[in-house]
Amino acid sequence: MVHWIEGQTGLWEIVIGLEIHAQVTSRAKLFSGAATSFGRAPNTQVALFDAAFPGMLPVINAKCIEQAVRTGLGLNAHINKYSVFARKNYFYADLPAGYQISQHELPIVGPGLVAIDLSDGTSRTIRIERLHLEQDAGKSLHDRHPTLSFIDLNRAGVALMEIVSQPDMHSSEEAAAYVRKLRSILRYLGSCDGNMQEGSLRCDVNVSVRRPDEGFRTRCEIKNINSVRFMIQAIEYEAHRHVRVYESGGRIEQETRLFEASSGKTRAMRSKEMVHDYRYFPDPDLPPLTLDDAFIEDIRTSLPELPDQKKSRFINIYGLPAYAAGILVEDRETAEYYETVAKGRDPKTVANWVMTSLFGALHRSGREISDSPISADHLGQLIDLIGDGTISSHIAKSVFESMLETGQEPLAIVTAKGLKQVTDSKVIEQAIDAVMRRHPDKVALYRGGQVKLLGWFIGQVMKATDGKANPTKLSTLLKERLTES
């Protein structure tokens, strides 16, 4: 990931600011009672208000207000007790009213902060400029008919939170970390499901470049990116395009662009409209929104433990490194799974099993931790079987594989397959003797000073016992036997 772009005429810094549209988790729309479920038949979730029938009036959905305040508090942001809904006028076929109700000069949430962790172990704070509530538009369907387009108004009027960052990010990695962190916070709060594939979380990415220590240059806005991977590609492409243009003596115009996944490139969509083009004015059908302290404080006291707090707790209570703690708290389910297993067990051993074996297996099978084939209880039992010497950690790996396949509890697998560790000295000694009898030449070499052969002997005896000999006991007994003459 680049931080600085090395052009032909010197270094360039990338500057990135993100506008994220997060669909509010609510059963009804922002100003109507129509349902919001994803994937329903077109135009089955549309109130007369959403279709802009004359004379229909908006009625604010209190749940959406609560979710916006909850999100503001989760982003360490200032809550504005007085905010105003405005009409943002533009024409588009999927916007029947000819305007979108949004918040313009006075949004419900003001400045806030989000901490991000980067792969080099450092952390940064990204400033949030504002969060405002607005309506989503409908959807135009262009692929159903050769010459006609269709309109689906199911999404029209669904509540969105637009979360605008300051231009504080300077690499695609930082932007990716920011989106992931924001998504994690929204999911903890339950104010947005964060599902980018379904469009519940969409990013507009603003990119510019500048010389070190120079003021900001013109930005281009890449609209509606719905995956973190595409966002990274779009930023890389766009920033390099700016450098190419500047270095060949050209100018960057402020414009709105589209990212094309097939080519990995961005292309111009339209020149950027200016704020005054929208003719914003306060919506005469909606009084200003006023919140009282009790409403805000009630929400504050109902906030769950958020990722940053949980991370600090994992570091303090379990002694985990910051990196591991950060990964384990990314989603609530993983954190809960970890804590269930870690209860009464060595926290670092547990973190290791969860982050390497379990995550690996989930990743291979494309599953989420919520439908892990291995329950937290079963993983705990497996770790206990190693701890009490029933199986070696080597054998535990293969028990883990069987647990993945069968969902059985570990002890049942160990018993059925006869995998219990052999700790009986007599049995181990017999195996040692058999190996020594078969390889008198190697015994002679060892006794002649080639002590490195010990590893080879351990391997042979392990093989002879199907890997079940207790490793510590085996090594002690073997040394004794080999040095006796």
HSE-CB at 450 with a 13 A cutoff on CA atoms is: 10
**How, if at all, do strands 255-260 and 220-225 pair?**
parallel
Q: d(Cα 64, Cα 58) in Å, to the nearest integer?
A: 14
Q: What's the min distance (Å) between Cβ of 224 and ligand ADP?
A: 13
Query: 10: alpha, beta or left, given left = phi > 0 and alpha = psi -120 to 50?
Result: left
From first CA to last CA, the distance across the chain in angstroms is 62
In angstroms, the CA 313 to CA 315 distance is 5
Q: Give 463-483 as a DSSP string.
A: HHTTT-B-HHHHHHHHHHHHH
For the segment 285-324, give every residue that binds ligand ADP (CB under 6 A).
Answer: none
Q: Which does 165 bind (CB under 5 to 8 A by kind): ligand ADP, Mg ion, none?
A: ligand ADP
Binding segment toward ligand ADP, per CB under 6 A, in 145-153, 192-200, 201-209, 282-290: 201-209
Burial 391-411 (b: 16+ CB within 10 A, else e): bbeebbeebbebbbeeeeebb
Q: Work out what residue 208 binds among ligand ADP, Mg ion, none; the CB cut-off runs from 5 to 8 Å by kind.
A: ligand ADP
- At closest approach, how far in Å is the CB of 257 from ligand ADP? 12
Q: Which is nearer to ligand ADP, 79 or 207 (CB)?
A: 207
Cα 361 from Cα 373, distance rounded (Å): 9
Contact stretch for Mg ion (CB under 5 A) within 13-21, 233-241, 394-402, 459-467:
13-21
Return the residue of 53, 216, 281, 323 that touches ligand ADP, per CB under 6 A.
216
Q: Cα torsion for 74, 76, 81, 82, to the nearest 10°?
A: -100
Q: Report if residue 112 touches ligand ADP, rule: CB under 6 A.
A: no
Based on the shown chain and the rule CB under 6 A, indicate whether residue 166 belongs to the binding site for ligand ADP: yes
Choices 19-27, 58-66, 392-400, 426-434; region in contact with Mg ion by CB under 5 A: 19-27
Tell me the residue nearest to ligand ADP as measured from the CB: 17
Q: What is the DSSP letter of 451?
A: G
Segment interacting with ligand ADP (CB under 6 A) among 14-22, 46-54, 282-290, 402-410 = 14-22
> Is residue 221 a contact point for ligand ADP (CB under 6 A)?
yes
What CA–CA distance (Å, rounded) separates 206 from 18? Answer: 6
Query: Which does residue 164 touch among ligand ADP, Mg ion, none (CB within 5 to 8 A, set by kind)?
Result: ligand ADP
Q: Which is nearer to ligand ADP, 230 or 338 (CB)?
A: 230
Q: Would you say 247 and 9 are in contact if contact means Cβ atoms under 8 Å apart?
A: yes
Cβ at position 107, least distance to ligand ADP in Å? 10
Q: Which is nearer to Mg ion, 19 or 333 (CB)?
A: 19
| CA nearest neighbour of 104 among 164, 26, 158 | 164
Q: How far is the CB of 276 from Mg ion (least distance, A)?
A: 15
What type of residue sits at position 461? V
Residue 370 CB, shortest distance to ligand ADP, in Å, is 33
Site stretch for ligand ADP (CB under 6 A), options 11-19, 53-61, 242-250, 416-424: 11-19
Q: How far is CA 425 from CA 189, 348, 469, 475, 485, in A?
A: 56, 31, 9, 11, 20
- Quote the CA–CA distance of 356 and 463 in Å, as a whole number: 26
Q: Which of 35, 151, 164, 464 binds ligand ADP (CB under 6 A)?
A: 164
Task: List, in sequence order, the alpha helices (H) in 304-392.
Answer: 307-318, 322-328, 332-342, 347-352, 359-365, 376-387
Coil, strand, or helix at residue 253? coil
Question: Minimal distance in Å, beta carbon 19 to ligand ADP?
Answer: 5
Q: For residues 307 and 182, what is the distance between their CA atoms, to the nearest angstrom? A: 10
Query: Which residue stretch of 17-25, 146-154, 249-257, 273-281 sits at the interface with Mg ion (rule: CB under 5 A)?
Result: 17-25
**Binding residues among 80-119 for Mg ion as defined by CB under 5 A:** none
Q: Which is nearer to Mg ion, 132 or 183 (CB)?
A: 132
Check binding of 15 to ligand ADP (CB under 6 A).
Answer: yes
Length reported for the chain: 485
Pairing of strands 123-135, 4-6: unpaired
Half-sphere exposure of 258 toward its Cβ, with a 13 Å CA cutoff? 7
Task: Output the smallest distance, CB 270 to ligand ADP, in A.
Answer: 13
By CB under 6 A, tell whether 67 contacts ligand ADP.
no
In this chain, which stretch among 49-57, 91-99, 143-151, 163-171 interacts with ligand ADP, using CB under 6 A?
Answer: 163-171
DSSP structure class, residue 81: S
74 binds, among ligand ADP, Mg ion, none (CB under 5 to 8 A by kind): none
Selection from ligand ADP, Mg ion, none that 15 binds (CB < 5 to 8 A by kind) is ligand ADP
Comparing CB distances to Mg ion, the nearer of 88 and 468 is 88
167 binds ligand ADP (CB under 6 A): yes
CB 358 within 8 A of CB 379: yes
Residue 252 near ligand ADP by CB under 6 A: no
Residue numbers at the binding site for ligand ADP (CB under 6 A): 15-19, 164-167, 206-208, 216, 219, 221
Residue numbers at the binding site for Mg ion (CB under 5 A): 19
